[in-house]
Amino acid sequence: QILILDFGSQYTQLLARRVREANIYTEVLPFDTNIEKIKDYPLLKGIILSGGPSSVYLQNAYKIDAAILNLDIAILGVCYGMQLLTQYFDGSVELADQQEFGKATITIDDETNLLFNNVDKNSQVWMSHADHVVKLPNDFKQIAHSDASVAAIAHNSKPIYGIQFHAEVTHSLQGKTMLENFLFNIAKCSKDWNLDDFIEQQIKLIRETVKDKNVILGLSGGVDSSVAAAIIGKAIGKQLTCIFVDTGLLRKDEAVEVMKAYKTNFDINIKLVDASDLFFSELKGLKEPEAKRKAIGKSFIDVFTNAAREFKDADFLAQGTIYPDVIESSSHGASSKTIKSHHNVGGLPEDLKFELIEPLRNLFKDEVRKVGFKLGLPEEMVNRHPFPGPGLGIRVIEEVTKEKVAILKEVDAIFIKKLREWNLYNSVSQAFVTLLPVKTVGVMGDNRTYDYVVALRSVNTIDFMTATSTHLPWEFLDEVVNEIINKVDNVNRVVYDVTSKPPGTIEWE
Ligand code: XMP
């Protein structure tokens, strides 16, 4: 087992994913977790100190409980983590003249070092640092360097390592090998994390917790809540009631399809609540994305609360919370900046005294999908592209109206249908359309048109934190545009968004 101490890097989740991908169980904990808590993990083999936006030499810099350094386990500091190790062992770190952001090449100085098994002498890595090590820590040696800085260090006698680069991102071409070298050769972890055991344990745990009581769950039709419903349904059957809120901001026919899919695949109770009028009225006049997100989030909670109040005999509220949600919402001072406020069914009023059940709270998305398959959910449910909680409300740019949502639903349905026809749906990570608040001039037949512009977006990504736009074939795009212009009224222009994330985000709002 491995623990990751988080100093607020945008890449901390990625580090955790890499460890899980190697079939080793890991958890992310706040950077200042004390030694007593860490000793509660009896199978602990190693600790990874993440990167972070701070500087180790500042007065209020984030520090670890130094007793950790005396534990008889392996330690790997990444970026800020390496600089922190440097400071603890009496080296020094300063603001660099030549800062490194982006791709860089490192040269390995100690080719027989275990960390670099099967790694080339010169290897491309991803750097993102303004500070660097200027004096090596005592009892450490440099084991790799870049043009600008010390790139990796190792303690002379203990299994303590530091790397300046981010081995966890895919731009570090041999980063996976290096991390696996740390996990298996240095920390001596064994592969002991498997999802069949996980499912059995959860079913047993849910039965023991719920006994003969009842559970309610808010369904969104997305993967997380579907898989949560499946695992809880498998454990307790009709003791589970799912509430599915139709916000009016779902994709075309989604409410009907989701209800059908649940009714055929699950032996649980489902209740559909049509609340579209409320959502549209709350959104009236709002243009600013965060204001829209907040209005949608609040309406969702209101509707769900009212529906939940009808279930007086439910003692438990189940949620499809997954591990990235847990990491993102754990506020421990070092959390990274909020770019957008995501919403889930949190913040329920005090008088609804439910106990929470979150069977997926330790899983990453890819693990959730695997659990879904193992529980027999249909492919089209498990492999659905993610759909944001605020739905089409953040894909109609600026003010949302029923009419605009109706246009967007048609266009979006054509794009997704074509992706499936061309067998592209499963090779892209997420695809959708946004409706822009501008009209442009066009010509159809012999007539002038003055209609809306829509933007197609398709991205490929592993973690949804960085993404690149999909290189869709022109012939495919031609066909999509053709069908949209011919079939959907009020749209006369289609553009394709080729922005990566960063600098863009995946959604437009
Ligand atoms: P961004 O736009 O931040 O999106 O690059 C990253 C991923 O998150 C999805 N997303 C959301 N999911 N509630 C959600 O459950 C939200 O409020 C929300 N906003 C964005 C987005 O679709 C993409 O998959």
**Spelled out in words, what is the top-level CATH class assigned to the domain 2-186?**
alpha beta
The atom of ligand 1 lying closest to the CA of 501 is 5
Residue 239 phi/psi, 5-degree rounding, is -70, -10
166 is catalytic: yes
Give me 9's structure tokens. Answer: 């890097």
User: What span, in angstroms and rounded, lies between the C-alpha atoms of 398 and 382?
Assistant: 31
343 is known as an active-site residue: no
Ligand 1 centroid to residue 194 C-alpha, Å = 28
What is the number of the ligand 1 atom nearest to the C-alpha of 297? 17
Residue 36's SS3 state is helix
Strands 430-444, 447-460: pairing is: antiparallel
Query: Does 262 score more than 90 pLDDT?
Result: no
Q: How far apart (Å, rounded) are the C-alpha atoms in residues 106 and 152?
A: 9
Mean pLDDT for 317-335 is: 71
Helix, strand or coil, per DSSP, at residue 129: strand
Specify the 3-state DSSP secondary structure of 2.
strand
Q: Active-site residue 168, yes or no? A: yes
Residue 258: pLDDT over 90: no
Task: Give me the residue label for tokens 């996990």.
Answer: 183
Going by CA atoms, what residue is nearest to atom 14 of ligand 1?
Answer: 388
List the residue whose alpha carbon is closest to atom 24 of ligand 1.
Answer: 386
Rounded mean pLDDT, 373-391: 91
Cβ pair 124, 105 in contact under 8 A: yes
Query: Of the given ranges (99-108, 350-359, 414-423, 472-481), which has the lowest mean pLDDT?
Result: 350-359
507 CA from centroid of ligand 1 (Å): 7
How many whole angstroms from 388 Cα to the centroid of ligand 1? Answer: 5
Say what the pTM is: 0.77
Q: Is 341 a residue whose pLDDT tops 70?
A: no
pLDDT tier for residue 329 given thresholds of 50, 70 and 90: low
CA distances from 231 to 159, 228, 286 (A): 40, 5, 38
Distance CA 279, CA 267 (A): 30
pLDDT value at residue 347: 63
pLDDT score at 332? 47
Residue 207 CA to residue 213 CA, distance in Å, equals 10
Q: What per-residue confidence (pLDDT) applies to 344?
A: 53
Which position has the higher pLDDT, 400 or 8?
400
Question: Is the confidence at residue 76, as pLDDT, over 90?
Answer: yes
Residue ID of nearest Cα to ligand 1 atom 10: 388
Closest by Cα among 222, 214, 262 to 241? 214
In whole angstroms, what is the distance from residue 10 CA to residue 338 CA?
A: 11
Q: What residue ranges do the domains of the chain occupy?
A: 2-186, 195-382, 401-496
What spacing in Å lies between the alpha carbon of 239 and ligand 1's midpoint?
Answer: 31
Question: 403 CB contacts (<8 Å, ≥6 apart)?
Answer: none
Whether 165 and 172 have beta carbons less than 8 Å apart is answered as: yes
pLDDT computed for residue 352 by the predictor:
73
pLDDT digit string, tens, across residues 459-486: 999 778 789 999 999 999 999 999 999 9
Rounded to the nearest whole angstrom, what is the distance from the C-alpha of residue 261 to the centroid of ligand 1? 24
pLDDT in the model for residue 337: 53
Pocket of ligand 1 (CB under 6 A): 340, 342-343, 386, 388-390, 430, 464, 501, 505-507
Whether the pLDDT of residue 48 is over 90: the answer is yes
* Ligand 1 atom with minimal separation from the 220 CA: 15
Q: Is 225 annotated as a binding residue?
A: yes
Question: Which atom of ligand 1 approaches the CA of 340 most closely?
Answer: 3
Which CATH number among 3.40.50.620, 2.40.50.100, 3.40.50.300, 3.30.43.10 corresponds to the domain 195-382? 3.40.50.620
Range in 224-233, 235-244, 308-317, 390-399 the model is least confident about:
308-317
Express as a percent the part of the chain with pLDDT over 70.
Answer: 96
Q: Please, are residues 67 and 21 in contact by the beta-carbon 8 Å criterion?
A: no
Q: What is the spatial distance between Cα 37 and Cα 434, in angstroms, rounded to a whole number?
A: 47
- Average pLDDT of the chain to the nearest whole number: 92
Q: Which of 223, 392, 469, 506 to mutate to test the pocket of ligand 1 (most atoms within 8 A of CB)?
A: 506
Cα(369)–Cα(131) distance, rounded to whole angstroms? 39
* pLDDT surpasses 80 at 286: yes
Architecture of domain 401-496: 2-Layer Sandwich (3.30)
Domains 2-186 and 195-382 agree in fold? yes
Alpha-carbon span 390 to 294, nearest angstrom = 9
Per residue in 17-39, pLDDT (tens digit) is 899 999 999 999 999 999 999 99
User: Which of 129, 132, 166, 282 does the annotation list as catalytic?
Assistant: 166
Here the tokens at position 478 are 């031609």
Q: What is the pLDDT of residue 331?
A: 44
DSSP notation for 208-250: HHHTT-EEEEEE-SSHHHHHHHHHHHHHHGGGEEEEEEE-S-S
Express each pLDDT in 128-171 by its tens digit.
999 999 999 999 999 999 998 999 999 999 999 999 999 999 89
Q: What is the reported pLDDT for 342?
A: 57
Residues 431-449: tens digit of each pLDDT:
999 999 999 999 998 999 9
Share of the chain above pLDDT 90, in %: 76
